[in-house]
Structure 1
Amino acid sequence: MLICLASPPSFYCNNVITLICIIFLYLTADMAGDYTQHQSISSSSFNGNDFNERPKFINAARLKELYGCAICNDVVVQPHQTPCGNRVCKKCMNEKFDNLSVIKCPLPHGDMNEEELKEEQCQQEGLSLDAVVPDPGSQRFLLREKCFCKNQEYGCCENPPWKKLKEHQAVCAFVPDRCPNQGCNKLFAKKDLQRHIAECEFGIAQWKSSEQSLKHKDEKVGSSSASLTSLELDSAGNPRNPDFTDRPRFINSAKLKQLYSCAICKDVAVQPFKISCGSRVCKNCIYEKFGSLSLIKCPLPHDDMNKEKLKMEPCQLEGLVKEGLVFDTDSQKFLLDEKCFCENQKFGCPEKPLWEELEGHQAICVYTPSQCPNQDCTQSVAKKDLESHLTDCEYALDMCSVCKRTFKRKDKELMIHQKTNPECLRTPGKCYFFEYCHFESDKLNELKAHMENNTQSHMEAITVQVDKLRSLCESVRNTPVTDENKKNEKIRNLEKCLARNHMQLKALADAAKPVSQRCDGLESRLSEVERRVEESSIDRRGQYEHSLQETFQRMDKVENSMKTVELCSYDGVLVWKINDYQRKKSDAVRGRQMSIYSHPFYTSRHGYKMCCRAYLNGDGLGRGKCLSLFFVLMRGEYDELLHFPFKQRVTFSLLCPSNPSLSKHETFLPDPDSSSFRRPQTEMNIASGCPQFALHADVESSNFLVNDCIYVQVKVEPGGEKFPKEKRNTELS
């Protein structure tokens, strides 16, 4: 246009004509495109069977108000419009006409008065089938609305538009499929079916040593199912899965009793089975109920059911069949990953291995109690302390290094033996018979010579001492008995003393009565004071604990807010360093923590509040093979000053620290009709983004994974404020 204005008049006229022709051709092409689009929608939506079933819309309540059928009062399917302005489904209208060409209008006209209603053509001449025409505008709008996948209950989190719903459901990995094994009627998502078949209680295992196929229940004599999630075979072709039949001491036993309790013994289920009514039981508990029977009445409580619902349960109608018990693989797998106390904890073992590793740990635990091998010693000590105990045990046998004879340590027999036998003597000093011979020497040879040369004198001294003892015993035994008068006199004197002592004791008891009564009163008062002190201390302790708990919570909030302030950015750019990538991905694969959130960031100081959500093992179509990144809009303090729905462009980047040109980028524009980009009513909206952002092979290459860390950047286009900074500055000036 600038060139035309700057040119001569003739040139200007020619260019104006050319410009008008171009605009006419553009408008003609646009109208033709609308017409072809209208025709394609009309032909596919109203004459075909692709959109004749009503899906589960995400915004169903709002759509019922805007696009509700006047007959069924639900969202219209294949919408048609009547001359009186009502919108109806094609199927509903065909049912009303029922092979007739003209009928009385069956639709409500609550917004018209009687005079207006009489003037309506549908009331005067009736409603003609030819007068009901398709409504392609409504159909186009509805085809863009997002819906829930019908496999949502099996784990699908995709929300495709209605137009692409059928295509998505044809390839959805969460389509339910029934287990083909006879006796197993469970439904599983398509992606989980093969794993279930490999672990199914009713599946068929191929033995390496035989071509004959056996049920899993017959693979191990006396066992009804494998205790691990998959059947492992050793080199000989035999199953090598250990049996976890003994219940360990779980660290989180209280929580596990709530989640995985046996309905019979009320403890954590061991070798858990699930029965038809949904209850979980231990193998031993339910087998005790069966006994030698194969069919019994369900012995489990059903307190959460009323009588009518209970009568309809299969376990009440048909009873419980022993062959119909299903091993709960998922519960067993979860419990095997739970930490337990070692059996040797009371002997000092601090280890807390997983249940799956408990048996291996206890086989080599150094705190295993061991019985002392010494005769008459009943003490048990830890395996690591056994050697030191043997060196100090009083029941140990000491061996003479010369004559090789053994002696009990408790009676110091070795020392006596060495000191009384010159050939075994090892240390100089006093003679053992020093009390009789008074000989001592600092030289070992002199002491040995003295012992050898004076053996007879030592024996004589011992004999003299034995004779003295013998004569003393005889004198005691042969003491003459005194006459009867002296005995009686002594007895009388003793009785007088006893009577005198008894009178004194009685007087003391009478004098002590008031003292004892006063003591009883003091004791009762003391117990009352102690009770009051204890109650007050308990109350104060509870108050102190409550105040301490509140203080710790406040400190945690302050610490989190300080971290947020330190890491937060206000330029619309987030650089997120994900540490411990391998561990976090492993947690996602095991299902412990499927996703992680970044710290929040803002487009400006008073702009949108946002964060990033990452699925390291992928989500939706990218599960198990891709890194999934999602954008999350959060509730901010200045949302009243911002435009909604959110329309800013969002760019995800996986940064390559060594070579920025190799970084991966992906950009998307928010859908203004999606609830993910409306003003947040809760803490954060539903995440939206790229489920197939980058393959795991690329993310875990040396370009992106550095020191077990990856770097993710999220860049948001600035804008969206009702009062931009420049305008505020102008108003202030």
Structure 2
Amino acid sequence: MSGNAVTKSPLVQLKILDERLQCIQCHFLLNGPLQLQCGHRLCTPCAVKLKQQSSQTLFCDKCQKYVESSKTFHDKAIAKEIECSVITCPQCGWTGEYRNYQKHLKEGCQLIKVSCPNEGCGEEIIKSQLDEHLQQCYRRQLCQLCKKESCTCRDQHKMDLHLGTQKRNSFGKKQTLMKDCEFHFLKCCFRGNDVELERHMEESQKDHLLMVRNYLSCKSPQKLNGVTSIGDNGLKLLLYTKLDKINEKLGRNENKENGLQIAELQGQQKDITFRLTGVEDLLATLQASINEINRTYEEVSLTLQTLQATSYDGHNIWKIPDITRRRRDALLGKTVSLYSAPFYTSRFGYRLCLRVYLYGDGSGKGRYISYFLTIMKGEYDALLEWPFQHMVTMTLVNQKGNNNIVQSFRPNPTSTSFHCPKSDMNVASGCPKFAPISILDNPEFVVDDVAFFKCDISVNKS
């Protein structure tokens, strides 16, 4: 579509229901609202028309009386409200705020009328039909030779320069001057006007080059068309000059083609680099997602392993590896006690864990292994009976016989260790002098540097 098309911005005549925003004269949306002395409003264009009748007064249709024109003023508050009002274009049905209406008329509305940009035409056409009109406008003139270049008839000088070889007779008719190819003396038979001849010279460079080379390589050259007797040296000089021109043109064309190819390759390289950057970003995102999935999998696996190893029948066998190292850590005070994994008396029962001091604790410190039971805070404590009163049997397992070390006790109901936990776990309670420390040197109780501690909770209180 022509960028020179003139869009006529029509007088803003938009229907609107709100009477406050209506002109009292034309009853359309206020265009440059003015407030009269009586409080009513009218458009600036309507006020100009009324002032033509009387410059001193304006007639208010609402009040049916005259008011002083000097006391009118621009109503900025209403103008701002109008700017934000939602309106509908009467031409195409576009809906939007009034502040964008003029921009819509200029750039977006295809049903508004515009003027033909061709000088001398001036016909008003619907914008969507402007392209079709410009193709048929009588002010447009196409070149009769190449059918490509065009200009308006008012720019006849431009057309004359384009035609080049055309001459006008006294009646204004055009006659075309035809010319022979520059290589007609080498039997090139092409003939045409300047435009056709220029195109022929560009397209037939290789053919002309071949004609020149064939002639120069010929031992018995034939007489040339249209060439007078200028001597062999003069003829060869003429041909070599033509040859140099052709080679020069071919070189320019090759450089141009190479430049285009290089530009195209560079464009492809940039496109590939951009795509690779996008792929690298995607791979980085996927790798981050995979790492997150792996972490989640490891957490779920650990939780599953813990659940699989958890006992729910009040019996727990605790495997403690690296006994030698752990005894040394206890002696040095690095890790004085160890905790087992939690276990339960039933699926919804008490939550418990075991605690052992390999170098003793309290009254057994330094001489005995101290072995305790710890009541932990559980999910179902509110449904259980307190204090905890079940019989507890604690065992160090003899791995090569039946001579286990066993101690049993019944919880003291007055001890807070067996009351309902108020923190994560109660104070451990059990056997501070469970077994001599030296028992861990016995190969029947420690095999492959591993010891097994066992605890059994009697579910029945008796």
TM-score range (shorter-chain normalised) is 0.3 to 0.5
Normalization by structure 2: what TM-score? 0.40
TM-score, length-scaled by structure 1? 0.26
Q: Which has the higher contact order (CA 8 A, sep 6+)?
A: 2
Rg comparison, structure with higher value: 2
> Which protein has the bigger helix share?
1
Bigger strand share: 2
